[in-house]
Amino acid sequence: MPKKKNKLPTEIVLTYKVKHNHDLKNLPDEFIKISQRAIDIIWENINWKEKVVKHRYKIGKKKYKYYTTTRLIPKIPKDNDFKRELRNRLLEGWEFASHYVDGAIKTAYSAIESWKSNYLNVNRKKNKPIFKRPFVRVKTTLMKYDRKNGIIRITIKPRKSI
């Protein structure tokens, strides 16, 4: 059996708090709402397949008792048509830059993949993930750094930045 290689992070993510004079109170709340909506839509489209799983427990020193159970295994939709339709549904009524919708979809898939691995390892139940704390995932395409002035420019709405 081949040995598993240690997985090293391929991307380093840094988090910053930035002070500014702009009123952006509704952006984190709206981002959470749209991310949760993305999770809801993905959750509705998960295909659940039954799989027979074999288990055992020890009876004494070298004897085992074997039994089987059926387990529901989730299949998360990842095809491009589904993702395109999801993006179009989330863009309806969205007032900020469309890049935030892409970030919300990426965040939702990340949360569901994390839930799936924990669910398969019997660390989670069949409850969909819920975002509780407001945050915003800003893609690198929305940020520009001006080295001369030391200013970070972030696009909030289409063709408007702070």
pLDDT tier at 10, thresholds 50, 70, 90: low
Point out the least confidently predicted range of 22-31, 88-97, 150-159: 150-159
99 Cβ neighbours under 8 A, 6+ residues apart: 139, 141, 142, 155
DSSP string, 19-55: --SS--THHHHHHHHHHHHHHHHHHHTPEEEEEEEEE
Q: Which residues are bridge partners to 65 per DSSP?
A: 57
**CA end-to-end span of the chain, whole Å?**
54
Q: Yes or no: say if 95 and 157 are a contact pair by the CB < 8 Å rule.
A: yes
Closest residue by Cα to residue 90 from 37, 23, 26, 158? 37
pLDDT above 90: percentage of residues in the chain? 46
Q: Give the per-residue pLDDT at 28.
A: 87
Q: Where are the domains positioned within the chain?
A: 26-47+76-161
pLDDT tier at 137, thresholds 50, 70, 90: confident
